[in-house]
């Protein structure tokens, strides 16, 4: 196959001099279009899939250039089957976006091998459209949009060119015609987009795309997980508050709450708990949270969600908010939260047992330390204060690059390395609390957020991922304790960059955030993106309802249907009128119009021009009937004949002055 592609290249060079045969031109267009639409998939598709398709394309071009026979039909069938099998084996499914895209690319390559007719080529263009479509399922960012639009345009030009059998149409003309058609189609597309009823929920279950399952918090926490995440400046979610923002120190966004500890890794509780009655303290914040797709089911809410959309979400007993569906696309939730709360009932037994459990035989030194400290403190509150004081006063360091921990990770951290990120401190604190007989759990999520004054949004990035603890204190219920705040108070008050700067560390991209101008630019770009995400990407049932209310259509689906039909009808009428105008008859030139005017004038006086009469004969006949018109008509005739039949070498200027003189004469003619 390599030798084939090399020889194809040589032949292409030889062909460059003379115009390519139409079949080759079509093939190159189609392969070019396919390449454009597969390009966005390169980051997440397997290399062999791309190589297979590229090989097929090279082989097909070589076949065309060298006038080889196409591969035998049985061979093509075998190849297609093997390719299908390879996708199935590699991806273990044919369902879902990843496998589907791979299958699409592979099949487009196999189809290329057998393209002979225009119909085959068209099928490949269709597959290319589909690949473009699939690329949107991976990424809906504003940055991608221009590329996608241009690619769709070029695919359409390709579609037009392969159906063009005459060679008279230039590429430029095809580009112009399709461009115009795109512009004409756009209003209808926008109306359809706005008016087509959005159905909540999914028709079939979605296998999450691999490309996106990587970022964000997981439902496990091992030392190093959160600090890995902190390097990413990717957006986790945005929140828009209706009313005041919570102070920075209260911006705890609750994610997965972890209960089970095996000595190194924290996990979610294996069994569900009974929900507890909760009363809130302090102000209630109302806000919208807009989550980037993270393919998990949890929704990040400010500490304690008090109101949530009950149709789509549910609040678990540990106050974590769960969505019915995985967040596979940008999703918006309207929530209310409090930052303080208490639980009035006693701790259920199952929860107490779970949140006191520690792995046997691990971290013995820490457990001993905890028991000793508890005895010395005398109360749970005093114990907690003592532990926090230990973190604050002794040599513990907050760092993004903590050393690796051994099997007994808590022991190793507390007594040896003493350097850790938030998850180390939260994990160690929770273990110490449990060892001291205080039920405790780890909460992961985000802490902080950057306020964008342009869009009014709080931006929460992956770098703000955080872990803290909650402990059960008799009479107070669950109480949040953030050991990171003890060791690095700046982390909570001023954000992670400030906290790391104390230790001389920086996050990637910190420089960008320090320049005022660049910050302005960044925030402006983010405001644009926010608008894009809110108004376009997340356009859904709610926004549609709002739009309909603004248009006084009511939120009746029947009205929506009528509006859709009206949109279609007006598109048809507008297109008919527009194209009727575009295809209007060619006007006569100015000279012919003047001559027609002269004939009409004379005809009104009963001297119509006969069909066979030229200007000289006609004027001669008119002059016989009306000799009084002679001086006027003779000059008119002479000018007309000279302009119509005379040499063109007069030049445009003289021509124009003669033309205006003629116009004047005809206007002056009084019959």
Partner 1 sequence: MLSRLLAALRRRTRKWARKRHGIDPDPVILSPRRIYIVPSALGIAFTLMLFAMFLGAMNYANNLALGLTFVLGALSLTAMHYCHRNLAGLQLRSASSEPVFAGQVARFGIALENGAKLARHELVIANEHGDARPVRVESGGRVVLNLEVPAPQRGLLALDSFELSTRHPFGLFRAWAYLNMELSCVVYPKPSPRGLPPPPQETDTGGAQDMTRGDEDFAGLRAFHPGDPPRRIAWKAYAREQGLHVKVYAGTAVTSHSFDWESLPGLGTEARLSQLCRWVEDAYAAGRAFGLRLPGVEIAANVGPGHRQRCLTALALFDERAAHD
Catalytic site positions: 422, 466, 482
Alpha-carbon torsion (349, 350, 355, 357), positive or negative: positive
Task: Check if the beta carbon of residue 33 is closer than 8 Å to that of residue 125.
Answer: yes
CB atoms within 10 A of CB 116: 9
HSE value, Cβ hemisphere, 13 Å, CA-based, for 584? 6
Give the three-class secondary structure for 366. helix
- Cβ distance to partner 1 smaller for residue 17 or 168: 168
| Residues within the interface to partner 1 (CB under 8 A) | 97, 118-119, 122-123, 126, 129-130, 132-133, 136-137, 140, 145, 148, 152, 156, 159-160, 162-166, 168-169, 177-178, 181-182, 184-186, 188-189, 192-193, 196, 198-199, 202-204, 206, 328-329, 331, 536-540, 571-572, 575-576, 579-580, 582-586
Task: Check if the beta carbon of residue 463 is closer than 8 Å to that of residue 230.
Answer: yes
CA distance 517 to 392: 37
Q: Which residue carries 């069909």 as its tokens?
A: 611
CA distance 364 to 352: 21
CB of 200 to partner 1, least distance (A): 8
Q: Which residue carries 């008050």 as its tokens?
A: 493
- Cβ distance to partner 1 smaller for residue 75 or 145: 145
Task: Check if the beta carbon of residue 273 is closer than 8 Å to that of residue 317.
Answer: yes
CB of 570 to partner 1, least distance (A): 12
- Cβ distance to partner 1 smaller for residue 157 or 458: 157
Task: Check if the beta carbon of residue 254 is closer than 8 Å to that of residue 445.
Answer: yes
- Cβ distance to partner 1 smaller for residue 123 or 221: 123
CB of 127 to partner 1, least distance (A): 9
CB of 193 to partner 1, least distance (A): 5
Q: Which residue carries 């939120």 as its tokens?
A: 555
DSSP structure string for 185-229? HHHHHHHHHHHSPPPPS-SSPPPPPGGGSSSS--SEE-TTHHHHH
Q: Residues 6 or more apart from 653 whose CB is under 8 A from it? A: none
- Cβ distance to partner 1 smaller for residue 92 or 584: 584
Beta-bridge partners for 340: 281
Rounded to 10 deg, the angle between the 590-604 and 615-625 helix axes is 30
Task: Check if the beta carbon of residue 484 is closer than 8 Å to that of residue 502.
Answer: no
CA distance 336 to 241: 10
CB of 142 to partner 1, least distance (A): 10
Residues comprising the chain, all counted: 671
CB of 209 to partner 1, least distance (A): 9
CB of 552 to partner 1, least distance (A): 24
The pair phi, psi for residue 339, each rounded to 5°, is -105, -5
């Amino acid at each position: 196959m390599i030798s084939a592609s090399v020889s194809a290249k040589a032949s292409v060079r030889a062909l460059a001099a003379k115009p390519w045969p139409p079949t080759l031109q079509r093939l190159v267009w189609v392969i070019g279009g396919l390449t454009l639409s597969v390009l966005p998939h390169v980051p997440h598709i397997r290399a062999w899939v791309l190589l297979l398709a590229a090989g097929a394309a090279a082989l097909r071009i070589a076949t065309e250039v060298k006038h080889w026979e196409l591969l035998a039909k049985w061979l093509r069938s075998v190849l297609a089957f093997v390719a299908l099998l390879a996708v199935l084996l590699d991806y273990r499914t044919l369902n879902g976006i990843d496998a589907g895209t791979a299958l699409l690319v592979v099949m487009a390559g196999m189809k290329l091998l057998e393209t002979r007719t225009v119909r085959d080529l068209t099928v490949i263009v269709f597959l290319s459209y589909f690949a473009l479509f699939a690329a949107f399922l991976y990424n809906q960012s504003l940055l991608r949009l221009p590329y996608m639009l241009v690619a769709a345009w070029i695919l359409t030009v390709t579609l037009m060119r392969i159906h063009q059998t005459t060679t008279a149409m230039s590429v430029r003309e095809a580009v112009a015609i399709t461009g115009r058609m795109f512009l004409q189609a756009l209003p209808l597309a926008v109306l359809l987009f706005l008016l087509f009823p959005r159905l909540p929920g999914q028709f079939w279950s979605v296998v999450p795309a691999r490309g996106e399952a990587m970022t964000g918090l997981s439902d496990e926490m091992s030392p190093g997980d959160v600090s890995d995440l902190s390097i990413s400046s990717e957006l986790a979610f945005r929140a828009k508050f209706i009313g005041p923002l919570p102070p920075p120190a209260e911006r705890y966004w609750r994610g997965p709450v972890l209960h089970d500890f095996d000595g190194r890794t924290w996990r979610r509780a294996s069994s569900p708990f009974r929900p507890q009655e909760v009363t809130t303290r302090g102000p209630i914040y109302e806000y919208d949270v807009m989550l980037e797709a993270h393919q998990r089911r949890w929704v990040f809410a400010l500490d304690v969600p008090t109101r949530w959309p009950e149709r789509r979400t549910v609040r678990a007993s540990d106050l974590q908010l769960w969505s019915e569906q995985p967040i596979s696309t940008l999703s918006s939730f309207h929530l209310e939260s409090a930052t303080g709360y208490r639980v009035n009932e006693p701790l259920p037994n199952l929860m107490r047992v779970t949140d006191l459990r520690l792995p046997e035989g691990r971290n013995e030194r820490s457990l001993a330390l905890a028991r000793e400290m508890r005895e010395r403190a005398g109360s749970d509150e005093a114990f907690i204060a003592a532990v926090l004081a230990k973190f604050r006063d002794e040599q513990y360091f907050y760092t993004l690059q903590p050393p690796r921990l051994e099997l007994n990770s808590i022991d190793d951290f507390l007594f040896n390395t003493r350097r850790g990120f938030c998850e180390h401190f939260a994990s160690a604190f929770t273990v110490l609390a449990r060892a001291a007989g205080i039920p405790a759990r780890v909460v992961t999520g985000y802490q902080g957020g950057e306020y964008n004054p342009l869009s009014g949004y709080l931006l929460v990035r992956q770098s703000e991922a955080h872990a803290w603890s909650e402990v059960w204190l008799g009479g107070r219920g669950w109480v949040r304790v953030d050991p990171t705040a003890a060791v690095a108070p700046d982390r909570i008050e001023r954000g992670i960059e400030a906290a790391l700067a104390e230790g001389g560390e920086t996050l990637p991209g910190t420089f960008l955030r320090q320049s005022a101008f660049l910050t302005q630019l960044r925030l402006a770009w983010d405001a644009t993106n926010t608008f894009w995400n809110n108004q376009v990407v997340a356009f859904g049932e709610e926004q549609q309802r709002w739009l309909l209310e603004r248009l006084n259509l009511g939120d009746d689906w029947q009205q929506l249907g009528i509006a859709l039909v009206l949109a279609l009808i007006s598109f048809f009428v507008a297109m008919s009128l527009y194209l009727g105008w575009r295809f209007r008859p060619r006007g006569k030139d100015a000279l012919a119009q003047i001559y027609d005017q002269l004939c009409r004038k004379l005809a009104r006086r009963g001297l119509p021009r006969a069909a066979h009469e030229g200007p000289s004969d006609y004027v001669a006949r008119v002059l016989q009937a009306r000799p009084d018109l002679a001086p006027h008509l003779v000059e008119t005739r002479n000018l007309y004949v000279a302009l119509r039949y005379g040499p063109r070498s007069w030049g445009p200027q003289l021509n124009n002055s003669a033309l205006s003189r003629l116009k004047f004469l005809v206007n002056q003619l009084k019959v």
